[in-house]
Chain A
Amino acid sequence: MSEHKNFRIRWGMAIDLDKCTGCGACVVSCQVENNNAPLVDASDKERIVNWLTVYRLENGKSFPDAEVAYLPRPCMQCGNPSCVPVCPVVATDKNEEGGIVSQIYPRCIGCRYCMAACPYHVRVFNWFDPVWPKGMEKTLTPFTSTRPRGVVEKCNFCHQRWDMAKEKARKDGTDPMDLPEGAYVPACVETCPTGALVFGDLNNKDHKVSQLAHGPHARRLLERLGGDPQVYYISRRDWVLDLLDNHLAGEAGHGKAEGGHHG
């Protein structure tokens, strides 16, 4: 069984579901930043190699009371990850400072037990050899490895950007373990046109993400399962917050919802 670890820095994300328009910019930027090969066509979405998915939520009411919300879902970087203790070869771990759940691609044997254990479906498998359309291989970022067929991969909060931010801090003579807000942000956060995604150190009270996470409108996805996610969802709408965790009859409202596209 896994043990809960404490880290000095705990990178986390706050996603304002009232601001998210479901535009998908985060999905595209994630795909480009992390060298995710595109699908050959759109007929095989359940084998897509996207690390971030946007779900569409509905309150289940008819016009004019109908409401919609969009829920971007990166890896939750759980404090008590369900994926880590099950991996037979320690290809996934949560040990490094920062509290990011890592994935070592050259060690992964492709058993997919971590995918089975994760209720958020954040882990994707390389079902086929990755192929980029002719010419697109020139756009691959050199800072992210490409992955072969047969391994599991996942969002790592654009870990390479953290490495670069630390290097820059060292070069500038500042403490790489005390980065100012904004020195390290994942691609999805940087690209979000409405500012719905906020990123920072959850342990640093000066970071906006920490304040949002501790605010009255924050809730985590499937909180009661005990994964202790480091991604917080913000909404001022009760039905949206209630949808983030499973509710039994008699508990707080539980609206009707539809799954969005999913990889």
Chain B
Amino acid sequence: MAKPIDSALFPGDFPRCSLLKFLIWLSFWGVLFLAGIYAAYVVFANGLGMTGLTNYFAFGLYITFDLAVIALGAGAFFSGLLRYILNMDELKNIINLAVIGGFFCYSGAMLILTMELGQPLRAWFGFWHPNVHSMLTEVIFCISCYLLVLTIEYVPLIMEQKHLNKVPFLHNFAHNMHIFMPLFAGIGAFLSTFHQGSLGGMYGVMFARPFVFREGFFIWPWTFFLFVMSAAAVGPCFTTLICKCIELASGRQMTTWKVKQLMGKISGTMLSLYLFFKLIDTYNWAVNLLPTLGETYEQMFHGLVYGQWLFWLELGVCGVIPAVILLMKPLRNNHTLFWTACILACVGISLNRYTVTVQGLAAPVMPFDVWRVYTPRWTEILPSIMVLAYGVIIVSLSYRYLPVFPQEKELNQAPAEG
């Protein structure tokens, strides 16, 4: 078979699909991306009244999506921490993908965040007039700085592109950045821990909102720690799922089953730790905290849209079940169960971010108020799809042209591992 015309740009001598096929693939996602850009234009031009948000639902799909992708993108910080700080050498085979995943999740979240602000041109006020008491201030600082760190972590990978790497300056620059990578991994882990926590803390400190309010430890509500742990739990899962998607799309194996198992084991451990505290927190909230606020557990749920089924789906089906599968080696070693657990874990944490954002605001606090239903409009849905499309484009370009997977050549010469 003839080589694709851009084969000179491929990493090593790895085979890739034809350029035409790749362009058709990119065009599909490019159209979705442009549709999101159009939605963003409509919102920027006409205001947030074009969304499904109301005075009742100040937060909606934008924030839910941001929280979810930021949690899923946590694979970068947690894998980086384990790889560079705790020296888990096996993770070197997937760390590049974790960084790329983190980069597109965080940069995509930033795109949505600019839309979420009523006054996007004043976004810099967060740095200029910071309120040190606000968890959101911490989020603004840490998330911006962490995106910078992720960019720094991504740049050497780009410089390792076959032709770019021939330039002595870029080669040496990338090499030196690799030397300092443990430092960046440490800074990234610090920043990410704090902003993941502050995202949770944002809800926990809302003492007049019984659905989300949590008393806590020192100055932090429990949600601070729960968000950190849950993000660390699903980040590796999500990275492994991206790897699986690339394998399915390319028909080639990118990492060994052993590496995937290790990522799953890390996720399972963190998910179990998270669920241990989450279940204690939930019990304390339902039995002790809510009555002091004049509310009951049943009052926190309503009808189908805000029903208790969400609660059990999040904590049971998408919480305990994947945690058990990922933690127990015989179950984890089963391919079907493993991938099911990874998907369930990611869905569960996304569901958690949805309930704290939407159900937390829908639950009426004044006794004579009523439940409202929030429905996102196309102006919110398309930008969310835009970020997914953006992620696919970034990953596709990176996989095609950059040396993302160190094991790719070796794994695809030998018979595939089971």
Residues of A within 8 A of B (CB): 1-2, 44, 46-48, 55, 57, 71, 82, 85-91, 107-113, 115-121, 123-129, 148-152, 221-222, 224-227, 243-249, 251, 254, 257-260, 262-263
- Most chain A C-beta atoms within 10 Å of own C-beta, residue among B47, B58, B292, B360: B58
Interface of chain A, main secondary structure: loop
> Do A116 and B209 have beta carbons less than 8 Å apart?
yes
Report A35 CB to chain B, min CB distance, Å: 18
13 A-B residue pairs with CB within 8 Å: A55-B368, A90-B131, A109-B125, A111-B136, A113-B58, A115-B58, A116-B206, A118-B208, A125-B118, A128-B46, A128-B49, A243-B368, A259-B368
Complex-state Cα separation, A52 to B136, whole angstroms:
28
> Do B134 and A86 have beta carbons less than 8 Å apart?
yes
Tell me if B168 is interfacial: C-beta within 8 Å of chain A.
Answer: no
Task: Knowing A48-B55, A152-B118 are in contact, say whether A117-B293 is a contact too (CB < 8 A).
Answer: no
Task: Knowing A107-B125, A109-B126 are in contact, say whether A120-B366 is a contact too (CB < 8 A).
Answer: yes
Complex-state Cα separation, A124 to B105, whole angstroms:
31
Complex-state Cα separation, A126 to B58, whole angstroms:
11
> Do B47 and A128 have beta carbons less than 8 Å apart?
yes
Tell me if B207 is interfacial: C-beta within 8 Å of chain A.
Answer: yes
- When the two chains form the complex, which single residue of A48, A113, A259, A263 contacts B369, counting CB atoms closer than 8 Å? A259
Query: Which of chain A's residues have a CB closer than 8 A to the CB of B58?
Result: 112-113, 115-116, 125
Task: Knowing A46-B56, A109-B117, A263-B55 are in contact, say whether A247-B136 is a contact too (CB < 8 A).
Answer: no
Tell me if B307 is interfacial: C-beta within 8 Å of chain A.
Answer: no
Query: Which of chain B's residues have a CB closer than 8 A to the CB of A247?
Result: 294, 367
Query: Which of chain B's residues have a CB closer than 8 A to the CB of A128?
Result: 46-47, 49
Task: Knowing A46-B54, A124-B55 are in contact, say whether A257-B206 is a contact too (CB < 8 A).
Answer: no
Given contacts A1-B205, A246-B293, A247-B294, 7 further A-B contacts (CB under 8 A): A88-B140, A89-B128, A110-B119, A119-B208, A121-B56, A151-B119, A221-B366
Report A143 CB to chain B, min CB distance, Å: 24
Residue of B nearest to A92 (CB): B131
> Do A227 and B136 have beta carbons less than 8 Å apart?
no
Report B351 CB to chain A, min CB distance, Å: 19
Residue of A nearest to B296 (CB): A248
Complex-state Cα separation, A247 to B367, whole angstroms:
8
Complex-state Cα separation, A149 to B117, whole angstroms:
11
Complex-state Cα separation, A87 to B58, whole angstroms:
14
> Do B133 and A2 have beta carbons less than 8 Å apart?
yes
Report B50 CB to chain A, min CB distance, Å: 8
- Most chain B C-beta atoms within 10 Å of own C-beta, residue among A123, A149, A243: A149
Task: Knowing A88-B130, A89-B130, A117-B208 are in contact, say whether A246-B54 is a contact too (CB < 8 A).
Answer: no
Tell me if B291 is interfacial: C-beta within 8 Å of chain A.
Answer: yes
Complex-state Cα separation, A55 to B366, whole angstroms:
11
Report B59 CB to chain A, min CB distance, Å: 5
Complex-state Cα separation, A88 to B118, whole angstroms:
14
Complex-state Cα separation, A108 to B119, whole angstroms:
8
Complex-state Cα separation, A109 to B139, whole angstroms:
15
Query: Which of chain A's residues have a CB closer than 8 A to the CB of B160?
Result: none
Complex-state Cα separation, A236 to B56, whole angstroms:
31
Interface of chain B, main secondary structure: loop
Report A85 CB to chain B, min CB distance, Å: 4
Per CB-CB distance, the 6 closest pairs between chain A and chain B, nearest first, are A110-B118, A246-B294, A150-B118, A127-B49, A257-B368, A46-B54
Report A127 CB to chain B, min CB distance, Å: 3
Residue of B nearest to A259 (CB): B370
Query: Which of chain B's residues have a CB closer than 8 A to the CB of A47?
Result: 49, 54-55
> Do A86 and B136 have beta carbons less than 8 Å apart?
yes
Query: Which of chain A's residues have a CB closer than 8 A to the CB of B56?
Result: 46, 121, 262
Report A80 CB to chain B, min CB distance, Å: 8
Complex-state Cα separation, A85 to B130, whole angstroms:
11
- When the two chains form the complex, which single residue of A89, A112, A224 contacts B126, counting CB atoms closer than 8 Å? A89
Tell me if B116 is interfacial: C-beta within 8 Å of chain A.
Answer: yes
- Most chain B C-beta atoms within 10 Å of own C-beta, residue among A225, A246, A248, A251: A246
- When the two chains form the complex, which single residue of A90, A125, A224 contacts B294, counting CB atoms closer than 8 Å? A224
Complex-state Cα separation, A91 to B368, whole angstroms:
30
Tell me if B365 is interfacial: C-beta within 8 Å of chain A.
Answer: yes
Query: Which of chain B's residues have a CB closer than 8 A to the CB of A44?
Result: 49
> Do A246 and B368 have beta carbons less than 8 Å apart?
no
> Do A116 and B361 have beta carbons less than 8 Å apart?
yes
Report B137 CB to chain A, min CB distance, Å: 4
Complex-state Cα separation, A249 to B202, whole angstroms:
31
Tell me if B148 is interfacial: C-beta within 8 Å of chain A.
Answer: no
> Do A111 and B368 have beta carbons less than 8 Å apart?
no
Query: Which of chain A's residues have a CB closer than 8 A to the CB of B209?
Result: 82, 116-117, 119
Complex-state Cα separation, A245 to B369, whole angstroms:
12
Query: Which of chain A's residues have a CB closer than 8 A to the CB of B292?
Result: 224
Tell me if B19 is interfacial: C-beta within 8 Å of chain A.
Answer: no
Query: Which of chain A's residues have a CB closer than 8 A to the CB of B59?
Result: 112, 116
Query: Which of chain A's residues have a CB closer than 8 A to the CB of B136?
Result: 86-88, 111, 113
Query: Which of chain B's residues have a CB closer than 8 A to the CB of A89?
Result: 122, 125-126, 128-131, 137
- Most chain A C-beta atoms within 10 Å of own C-beta, residue among B46, B128, B202, B367: B367
